Amino acid sequence: MKGFDIHSALKRTSKKFGKAPGTLEYTGDYKAEPTSIIMYSFDTESFSENEVDDVQKLKRELPKGKVNWIRLHGFRDIPKIRQIGQIFDINSLVLEDALNPYQRAKVEDMGNYLYITLKVFEGGKTLHDINAHQMNIILMDNCVITLNEAREPYLDLILDRIKRSEGRIRGKGHDYFVNAVVDLIVDSYFIVLEGISDNLENLEKKLREKDVKDFVGSVYDLRRLLTSVRRAIWPIRDIVAYLDSGASKLVSDEIKFYIKDIYDHIMHLIETVESLRDVTASLLDLHMTDLSNRMNEIMKMLTIISTLFIPLTFIVGVYGMNFKYMPELDVRWAYPVVWLVMIIIAGLMLLFFKKKDWI
């Protein structure tokens, strides 16, 4: 669970103690990768892709009437990132957040641009392989800048869709492009939740089959994961609500319905996450009661056997004593009588257990 574990997050964050706000520094898990900047420009007719060397020039020559996407990844070259900040007039507080891979999801309306940051979940084969990356999006009126620790596969998916001219993505503005990215990320949460849900279903099945090896540990792990996912999802509601509010002129009315669609997904995610938490709690309750039930059964067994034989063992012990003068020992029918007495005692005991509903 790289990239959103609560313990690591605290370790990274506390490393920055005492620094002035706005100090640029990469605090992530990756060895900072070399910084690469690619510029994509597209509209319904054309599509171009260029490696960017001179950022200054890039800013001056941004094509009009096209969607311009500046894709930066790799945080090794901090001075270059600072330079981009200066050229595009991006507040250093924003860049500080962008370099922090444990930044909580949020939107900041900085007036002439919007800064959106949220977690992307990259599913592995198993739940333990799940990684979270930080996605940073800066929406300006003439371009969108994305910043990532490493080349983000999710953005490649979007890029494919652009190249294949799929959906509306080439015919709409910068705001629609941002909407498409956020929509894709939100969709990725369903996959993580599906993984958790599958695991829970599995645990439930095992529990019904009394196969409880590692049960509690697994529930605990899923709960931890759910808590992390939950912490990632809830703030996105506020992001999308802000985009929908019409407070920023960078988001046009035209894409209102697309934002509402994402909002609907977020609500679905939130309800699902809460339901899954419910399920884990119920599973634990089920397990606890099950344990108690089995303990009852075990103790009943012990009690029945002990209660049945301990008195009898005492009786035979009595007649194993070696006293010289024990008149019973010489009586001829004493032995069968002792057996009779013992059988009667055992019978009464069994009746008692029957009445108690123990057998």
Task: Determine, following the binding rule CB under 8 A, whether residue 306 of this chain makes contact with its own copies.
Answer: yes
Which of 129, 187, 214, 238 lies at the binding interface for Mg ion (CB under 5 A)?
Answer: 187
- Whichever of 61 and 187 has its CB closer to its own copies, that residue is 187
Label each residue of the chain as H, E or C.
CECCCHHHHHHHHHHCCCCCCCCCCCCCCCCCCCCEEEEEEECCCCEEEEECCCHHHHHHCCCCCCEEEEEEECCCCHHHHHHHHHHCCCCHHHHHHHCCCCCCCEEEECCCCEEEEEEEEECCCCHHHCEEEEEEEEECCCCEEEEECCCCHHHHHHHHHHHCCCCCCCCCCHHHHHHHHHHHHHHHHHHHHHHHHHHHHHHHHHHHCCCCCCHHHHHHHHHHHHHHHHHHHHHHHHHHHHHHCCCCCCCCHHHHHHHHHHHHHHHHHHHHHHHHHHHHHHHHHHHHHHHHHHHHHHHHHHHHHHHHHHHHHHHHHHCCCCCCCCHHHHCCCHHHHHHHHHHHHHHHHHHHHHHCCCC
**Alpha carbon distances (Å) from 126 to 3, 158, 201, 351:** 16, 25, 15, 55
**Alpha carbon distances (Å) from 333 to 144, 329, 337, 342:** 106, 10, 6, 14
Task: Determine, following the binding rule CB under 8 A, whether residue 307 of this chain makes contact with its own copies.
Answer: yes
**Min separation Cβ 134 and its own copies, Å:** 13
Task: Determine, following the binding rule CB under 8 A, whether residue 191 of this chain makes contact with its own copies.
Answer: yes
CA angle 197, 215, 199 (to 5 degrees): 15
Which of 17, 60, 64, 79 lies at the binding interface for its own copies (CB under 8 A)?
Answer: 17
With CB under 5 to 8 Å by kind, the binding choice for 180 among its own copies, Mg ion, none is its own copies
**Min separation Cβ 20 and Mg ion, Å:** 8
- Whichever of 238 and 328 has its CB closer to Mg ion, that residue is 238
With CB under 5 to 8 Å by kind, the binding choice for 306 among Mg ion, its own copies, none is its own copies
Task: Determine, following the binding rule CB under 8 A, whether residue 257 of this chain makes contact with its own copies.
Answer: yes
Stretch that binds Mg ion, among 125-133, 139-147, 186-194, 206-214 (CB under 5 A): 186-194
Which of 89, 224, 246, 348 lies at the binding interface for its own copies (CB under 8 A)?
Answer: 224
Task: Determine, following the binding rule CB under 8 A, whether residue 11 of this chain makes contact with its own copies.
Answer: yes
For residues 86-145, which are near Mg ion according to CB under 5 A? 97
For residues 20-79, which are near its own copies according to CB under 8 A? 20-23
Tokens 């498409």 -> residue: 180
Stretch that binds its own copies, among 58-66, 126-134, 143-151, 185-193 (CB under 8 A): 185-193
Task: Determine, following the binding rule CB under 8 A, whether residue 317 of this chain makes contact with its own copies.
Answer: yes
Stretch that binds its own copies, among 51-59, 68-76, 141-149, 298-306 (CB under 8 A): 298-306
**Min separation Cβ 33 and its own copies, Å:** 25
For residues 330-359, which are near its own copies according to CB under 8 A? 330, 332-335, 338, 356-358
Stretch that binds its own copies, among 38-46, 72-80, 133-141, 268-276 (CB under 8 A): 268-276
With CB under 5 to 8 Å by kind, the binding choice for 89 among Mg ion, its own copies, none is none
Task: List Cβ neighbours of 329 (8 Å cut-off, separation of 6 or more).
Answer: 319
Task: Determine, following the binding rule CB under 8 A, whether residue 287 of this chain makes contact with its own copies.
Answer: yes
Which of 5, 109, 261, 290 lies at the binding interface for Mg ion (CB under 5 A)?
Answer: 261
- Whichever of 247 and 302 has its CB closer to its own copies, that residue is 302
- Provide the binding-site residues for Mg ion, judged by CB under 5 A: 21, 97, 183, 187, 230-231, 234, 261, 271, 275, 281, 284-285
